[in-house]
Structure 1
């Protein structure tokens, strides 16, 4: 007796191609035959569960509204009255403005309560599930950003954090999308910053960030990795961004000077050479004797100087007042740059202006 082995395709393949192949193997002759079966499966569209649940509830309400209207036309003179009674009864609100008086009408009401309450409970439970799922997707960076006119920042580090904070302080309503593959949860969940978890070199991740409607893209460098590999990742990210949106403005942070030309060829609209800026700044500080004097006093061993822009609420404070305020934030203020002049440990009554720059010590 021949042995039949049936190999079926996936349900998605069956629905898309409307056929499946049976491989029939004859054990006695060892002959394989391919038989193509015609489209026996109808391609019925499958609606989302939320739509199906609403449709069932609507059908339930309409059916019981019509039924009670037919059974007790005096108590429910219009079809709308019957549907209103069905909604109030099914939701267990029970206003009591419409009530059945006949035995059959009461039976219909009991059936509606026993069966409809479960549907309503399922509906609200599904709504709660969707809300929790959306919140979870938002926190884990899996939710797609649906807005436009936003700024995309690639990489989570001290520089990007400060940039996000400055943009958020100056333009509170500016939408910002952060892309990072090292974070597992949203770093700023209480803000309007949208987080996308993943590598920015992938089209799927950039599409989640709605790259086609972005107005600016900032690609920061990961200082914890090898400089050449970091620059290669930044350039590859730039190519992916420009491939999906050639007209978006891209600012790229480059660590090695040799990769500057490659970044320009890839379509960078602006380049920030972090190492070059840092070396020039340190050389300028050395030439002015800022670090030399401090090292003679053994005050900055293992530390570095950094510039910090003035925030709006810092302006018009004295150097002493601002020093105390920053000290509470674990920031040590050592001087200011005002009018092109660098002042280390100025008098405490010196006023801080909006266009000044602070000099702080960072460990």
Structure 2
């Protein structure tokens, strides 16, 4: 018995690949030996392999069984070593799954997906942003990068967590930055000094531009005077901390009721939303687009950031135009598909 225990202890210390090779060799060798001992019982080598596997798995259907003394002796050997070896393999598999889960919780795993959105720096605002992204599409890929050592949303399996410094190349590579569609940099809530907060955001943005210059980057900054510091870094859009909240509060106080409109436009979870509408070949002017969309249940809002196009309805639509309209998702899908 001590010999058997020593063999088991040695098998436990084997690497997973070595253990797998040992198991395959053991199963193939056992099937060959069983067939050699009782060829009339099994008929073919494959039947012997089937018997070895059912015996090791403790299933024991009884359709094949050893009849000779040598075959029964080998069966006892298979009970002692085969079942133990299979249990050892199952234990290794369970350990591997648990290790992967621990690595996921610790943010050590590489993200393998594409066309995802990277959210940088965990905070309540980042939490709301992630929920909003997932409301657009339940299958949307989201990667959260933060310097904490534990997944802040362990129950959200759609959210992949990467732990580490967001400005470090290795961390951004683990988030598969090159395969992402967009990155959102939130201010680090653990830093109190606005200049230091924006300085860290600038460092992260410069790292993103160096690795993936074509990615659409949105950055939150604490003070608008710091935007000039980003002039050498490609950031597509800036969001001022608390700026939107302050302006919305003023509008709610001075123009009662319009905050509901902004709340709807800020979240796809409530009411209509803003969608980019593909320009149709038969639309010559903004008026053509406006009237066509109105008939289909949508309201033309802007061309890129230009909200004055309702006063330019006779103007031709430029080639570089990007039209945005307010509508619901069903109408948007119908318009996008070119259906009437």
CA distance in 2: counterparts of 1:212 and 1:314, whole angstroms: 32
Which residue of the other structure, out of 242, 246, 252, is the alignment partner of 2:219?
Answer: 252
CA distance in 2: counterparts of 1:275 and 1:85, whole angstroms: 70
State the partner residue of 2:22: 56
1:156 Cα deviation from its structure 2 partner = 1.4
State the partner residue of 2:177: 211
Matches within 5 A, 1:268-279: 268-274=235-241, 277=244
1:256 Cα deviation from its structure 2 partner = 2.5
Structure with greater proportional helix content: 2
Classify the secondary structure of the residue corresponding to 1:235. helix
Matching of residue 186 in structure 1 with residue 171 in structure 2: no
Classify the secondary structure of the residue corresponding to 1:253. strand
1:279 Cα deviation from its structure 2 partner = 5.9
Classify the secondary structure of the residue corresponding to 2:207. helix
CA distance in 2: counterparts of 1:154 and 1:277, whole angstroms: 20
CA distance in 1: counterparts of 2:222 and 2:108, whole angstroms: 30
Classify the secondary structure of the residue corresponding to 2:183. strand
Tell which structure's C-alpha radius of gyration is larger. Answer: 1
CA distance in 2: counterparts of 1:114 and 1:52, whole angstroms: 20
Classify the secondary structure of the residue corresponding to 2:64. coil
Matching of residue 309 in structure 1 with residue 266 in structure 2: no
State the partner residue of 2:115: 149
Number of residue pairs aligned between Structure 1 and Structure 2: 256
TM-score by length of 2: 0.68
CA distance in 2: counterparts of 1:313 and 1:86, whole angstroms: 57
1:260 Cα deviation from its structure 2 partner = 1.0
Q: Deviations over 1:129-184 (max 9, x none)?
A: 11111112222222221111110000111221111111111211111011111x34
State the partner residue of 1:106: 72
CA distance in 1: counterparts of 2:210 and 2:122, whole angstroms: 23
CA distance in 1: counterparts of 2:261 and 2:125, whole angstroms: 12
1:222 Cα deviation from its structure 2 partner = 2.4
Which residue of the other structure, out of 198, 202, 219, is the alignment partner of 1:235?
Answer: 202
Unaligned runs of 5+ in 2: 1-13, 273-325, 329-340
CA distance in 1: counterparts of 2:40 and 2:87, whole angstroms: 31
Could you tell me whether the CA contact under 8 Å between 1:256 and 1:275 is conserved in 2? no
CA distance in 2: counterparts of 1:109 and 1:100, whole angstroms: 7
State the partner residue of 1:82: 48
Higher relative contact order (CA 8 A, sep 6+): 2
Classify the secondary structure of the residue corresponding to 1:149. coil
State the partner residue of 1:71: 37
Classify the secondary structure of the residue corresponding to 1:268. coil
